A and B are shown apart, each in its own frame.
Chain A
Amino acid sequence: MQAQQVVFRRAGSGLGLLLALFTFLVVFWLAILTPVAAQSADEGEAVFSEKCAACHTFGGGDLVGPDLEGVSDRRDPAWLSRWIAEPDAMLAEGDPVAVDMLAEFNNVPMPNLSLSDTEVASLVAYLGTRSSAAPAAVPVQVAEQSTVGSSEPDAATGKALFEGSNRFQNGGPPCLACHSIAGIGALGGGALGPDLTGSFGKFGEDGMASILATTPFETMTPIFDDQPLTDEEQAHLSLFLSRAAVSKRTAASVGQLALLGLVGAVFLLMVMQFLWRRRLREVRRPMVARSRARIERARQAQEEQRKATPGTESR
Chain B
Amino acid sequence: MDIRAQVSMVFHLDKCIGCHTCSVACKNIWTDREGVEYQWWNNVETKPGTGYPTLWENQDEYKGGWEAEDGRLQLKLQSKIGTLGNIFYNRRLPTVNDYYEPWTYDYEHLFNAPEGDDQPTARPISLITGEFMEIESGPNWDDDLGGSPVYASNDPNVGSLTDEERAQLNEIERVMFFYLPRICNHCINPGCVAACPAGAAYKRGEDGIVLVNQDKCRAWRMCISGCPYKKVYYNWSTGKSEKCVLCFPRLESGQAPACFHSCVGRIRYLGVLLYDADRIEEVASSPESELVEAQRGIIQDPFDPEVIAAAKANGVTDGMLQAAKHSPVYKFVKEWKLALPLHPEFRTVPMLYYVPPMLPVLAKMKDGKYDVADAEAEGLKPQLTSLENARAPLAYMANLFSAGNEEIVTEVYRKLIAVRVYKRAEKVGDISQEEAQEALALGNMTAEEAEAIFRLTALPSFEERFVVPPLAREVAIEQIESPYDRKREGGFGSRTAPGRRW
Contacts and interface: CB of A to CB of B under 8 A. Distances in A.
Contacts of A282: 95, 97-98
A54 to B, nearest CB: 47
A285 interface: yes
A278 interface: yes
Interface in B59-93: 61-63, 86, 89, 91-93
Range, interface on chain B: 20 to 34
Interface in A262-315: 272, 276, 278-285, 287-288, 291-292, 295
Nearest to B95: A282
A276 B91 contact: yes
Given A280-B61, A282-B97, A287 B92 contact: no
Given A287-B154, A295-B149, A279 B95 contact: no
B137 interface: yes
A286 B150 CA distance: 11
A268 to B, nearest CB: 12
B211 to A, nearest CB: 26
Given A280-B62, A284-B54, A284-B98, A291 B91 contact: no
Contact of A283 (B91, B98, B150, B153): B98
Contacts of A292: 150
A287 B54 contact: yes
Contact of B61 (A283, A285, A295): A283
B94 interface: yes
B55 A287 contact: yes
Contacts of A279: 91-92
A288 B50 CA distance: 11
B98 A291 contact: no
Contacts of B95: 281-283
B53 interface: yes
A291 B94 contact: no
Contact of B91 (A280, A284, A285): A280
B89 A283 contact: no
A52 B6 CA distance: 74
Contacts of B93: 280
A288 B53 CA distance: 14
A285 B96 CA distance: 11
Nearest to B150: A291
Residue with the greatest number of chain B CB neighbours at <10 A, chosen from A278, A283, A285, A295: A283
B54 A280 contact: no
B149 A283 contact: no
Interface string B23-50: 0000000000000000000000000001
A283 B92 contact: no
Nearest to B154: A287
Contacts of A272: 89
Nearest to B88: A272
A170 B301 CA distance: 75
A277 to B, nearest CB: 9
Nearest to A291: B150
Given A276-B89, A291-B149, A283 B54 contact: yes
Given A280-B61, A283-B98, A287-B54, 13 more contacts: A276-B86, A279-B91, A280-B62, A280-B91, A280-B93, A282-B95, A283-B61, A283-B94, A284-B53, A284-B97, A287-B55, A291-B150, A291-B154
Interface of B: 50, 53-55, 58, 61-63, 86, 89, 91-95, 97-98, 136-137, 149-150, 153-154
21 contacts: A272-B89, A276-B89, A279-B91, A280-B62, A280-B91, A280-B94, A282-B97, A282-B98, A283-B61, A283-B94, A283-B95, A284-B55, A284-B98, A285-B136, A287-B54, A288-B150, A291-B149, A291-B153, A291-B154, A292-B150, A295-B149
Interface of A: 272, 276, 278-285, 287-288, 291-292, 295
